[in-house]
Chains A and B, each alone.
Chain A
């Protein structure tokens, strides 16, 4: 009797967990299938290379693709130096037990937990209204140039959001560099800086790149941080300077799905835009996986 009930329990559990797993698979398949089925036919070359026309019921999404890429490139330029430098300080220079180190770590962890809309508000208050307006007062005689939502402020806000990703990934990569190599370098008369530049960073590079790509793929998908800091509803022109506004894929999806005057005409455009956004983030994540596995192989080769 007891044995039988145990068998029934096992059966129920394996059935239940299996169903849950199947449900996850089903959801992914439905989402991808729906997007690909409805979006792929409309994803043509003209769609990828033209601006929206006729109240966004026709034309392409090139300004949004361009804006997304520009945003992500600028964000990477800002977040990589700051994140890598922080990680190097924490793992190579800081005394691990000190109060400052612990404080920085707590700050990094908290930064990772802040909702992205809060970053958007922070960007508006700090970058646009404080830094931007300050630049205008100092350099442009109060004329509005930087004191408004712009590409540079959106990129910096996104950089703050992705900072923890880069810091954590870099710290892990630095920690994975064997201590023996640092000792060998020191014993040969290398200063700490020389050891970091010539031995530690080259070894950690794949891990740092993985962190960078994860940050990029996060930055390509987030919308909330740029809502108040630079993204535009519709712009016929591409941004030409750092203080221009820009279009972005994620926000464009929101605009297409909520603001269209003609829902039926917009639907294929919407699907194709979502497909482009998904392909972009998938490609970036796939790159991160490839880089990481390459790194593992290298470490495996190094320890044999």
Chain B
């Protein structure tokens, strides 16, 4: 199945062609071809081990850090190949941010967590850093809760706050794309609702790709949905289509809860 979701007239942010990812000799994913629309939310769904997280990690070259992982094919960000010769993966990751399943703030202060990406990027101007930190925390809907205690350890925040801090940390470097790997799976329903609302908001300025186990979540937050199964992308279409009349029987089985 070719990933030709009807992406309307939306501009393409990430274009993936014949992507194959293998661990050692074992092929974990692909070949996958799909185009991800700019400033929309694309959800990746599918049962455990279907390759959706592997796919996500190949969009910011985090797979490079996995020993024995090999990536073939072509991924373009705004038309530029991110696996091309001479492309620095560090540079790719500045443009494609990532939020992980388990919140992983650094054991530093709230302020230093958000400022981390700016400082390693070489920003020195204190006022500029402070402004960017405030904006990032506002965007992540966390500013009002933490503005009085920016100098306290991030470890003292609740789980939901920590995850929003990780989102703020990723936003501070102003990436073009935000990848989220089951960002709400470790959170309670209220914190989850917060994050989902936030994802909606973020799609106004960012291209968001989110992996989720939770089909209601995919239906609520995303514009497009890709269904992965056993290392293949089975179907990719607008979220409405996937959930109301999918073209593939396996997609229908999965979204109606017959397996998975």
- Show the binding face of A for B, using Cβ within 8 Å: 95, 178, 180-181, 183-191, 194, 198-199, 203, 298, 301-302, 304
Q: Which residue of B lies closest to A304 (CB)?
A: B155
Of the candidates A181, A189, A203, A298, which one forms a contact with B104 in the assembled complex, judged by CB atoms under 8 Å apart? A181
Residues of A within 8 A of B91 (CB): 189
Taking a contact as CB atoms under 8 Å apart, the answer to whether A298 and B120 are in contact is no
**In the bound complex, what is the Cα–Cα distance between A180 and B107 (angstroms)?**
12
Taking a contact as CB atoms under 8 Å apart, the answer to whether A188 and B104 are in contact is no
**In the bound complex, what is the Cα–Cα distance between A178 and B107 (angstroms)?**
11
A188 touching B169 in the complex, CB below 8 Å, given contacts A198-B116, A302-B155: yes
Taking a contact as CB atoms under 8 Å apart, the answer to whether A190 and B107 are in contact is no
Q: Which residue of B lies closest to A199 (CB)?
A: B106
Residues of B within 8 A of A199 (CB): 106
Taking a contact as CB atoms under 8 Å apart, the answer to whether A183 and B155 are in contact is no
Across the A-B interface, how many residue pairs have beta carbons closer than 8 Å? 66
Taking a contact as CB atoms under 8 Å apart, the answer to whether A189 and B106 are in contact is no
Taking a contact as CB atoms under 8 Å apart, the answer to whether A181 and B97 are in contact is no
Of the candidates A180, A181, A183, A298, which one forms a contact with B65 in the assembled complex, judged by CB atoms under 8 Å apart? A183
Of the candidates B62, B67, B121, B169, which one forms a contact with A186 in the assembled complex, judged by CB atoms under 8 Å apart? B62
Q: Which residue of B lies closest to A203 (CB)?
A: B107
Task: List 20 A–B pairs whose Cβ atoms lie within 8 Å, in order of A's numbering.
Answer: A95-B67, A180-B100, A180-B104, A183-B100, A184-B104, A187-B60, A187-B62, A187-B93, A187-B97, A187-B170, A188-B93, A188-B116, A188-B120, A189-B90, A189-B93, A189-B120, A191-B90, A198-B116, A198-B120, A301-B107
Of the candidates A187, A302, A304, which one forms a contact with B98 in the assembled complex, judged by CB atoms under 8 Å apart? A187
Taking a contact as CB atoms under 8 Å apart, the answer to whether A183 and B104 are in contact is yes
**In the bound complex, what is the Cα–Cα distance between A198 and B118 (angstroms)?**
13
* B94 on interface, CB distance cutoff 8 Å: yes
* Chain B 112-171 interface residues, beta-carbon cutoff 8 Å to A: 116-117, 119-121, 155, 166, 169-170
Q: B66 CB to closest chain A CB, in angstroms?
A: 10
Q: Which residue of A lies closest to B166 (CB)?
A: A184
Q: Which residue of B lies closest to A186 (CB)?
A: B65
**In the bound complex, what is the Cα–Cα distance between A181 and B116 (angstroms)?**
12
Taking a contact as CB atoms under 8 Å apart, the answer to whether B155 and A190 are in contact is no
Q: B14 CB to closest chain A CB, in angstroms?
A: 16
Most-contacted residue by chain A among B90, B93, B100, B106 (CB, 10 A): B106
Residues of B within 8 A of A301 (CB): 107, 155
* B200 on interface, CB distance cutoff 8 Å: no
* Tally of chain B residues near chain A (CB < 8 A): 26
Interface of A is mostly: helix
Residues of A within 8 A of B173 (CB): 188-189
Taking a contact as CB atoms under 8 Å apart, the answer to whether B107 and A186 are in contact is no
**In the bound complex, what is the Cα–Cα distance between A183 and B106 (angstroms)?**
11
Residues of B within 8 A of A304 (CB): 155
A183 touching B121 in the complex, CB below 8 Å, given contacts A189-B173, A198-B116: no
* B102 on interface, CB distance cutoff 8 Å: yes
Taking a contact as CB atoms under 8 Å apart, the answer to whether B117 and A188 are in contact is yes
Residues of B within 8 A of A95 (CB): 67
**In the bound complex, what is the Cα–Cα distance between A190 and B120 (angstroms)?**
6
Given contacts A178-B104, A190-B90, 9 further A-B contacts (CB under 8 A): A185-B120, A186-B65, A187-B100, A188-B93, A188-B94, A188-B170, A189-B91, A189-B117, A198-B119
Taking a contact as CB atoms under 8 Å apart, the answer to whether B107 and A189 are in contact is no
**In the bound complex, what is the Cα–Cα distance between A95 and B93 (angstroms)?**
23
Q: Which residue of B lies closest to A95 (CB)?
A: B67
Interchain residue pairs A-B with the least CB separation, the first 5: A189-B94, A180-B104, A188-B117, A187-B98, A184-B104
Residues of B within 8 A of A302 (CB): 107, 155
Q: B165 CB to closest chain A CB, in angstroms?
A: 11
Q: Which residue of A lies closest to B96 (CB)?
A: A187
Q: Which residue of A lies closest to B105 (CB)?
A: A184
Q: A297 CB to closest chain B CB, in angstroms?
A: 12
**In the bound complex, what is the Cα–Cα distance between A180 and B106 (angstroms)?**
9
Taking a contact as CB atoms under 8 Å apart, the answer to whether B155 and A185 are in contact is no
Q: Which residue of B lies closest to A184 (CB)?
A: B104
Q: Which residue of B lies closest to A180 (CB)?
A: B104
Most-contacted residue by chain A among B91, B104, B121 (CB, 10 A): B104
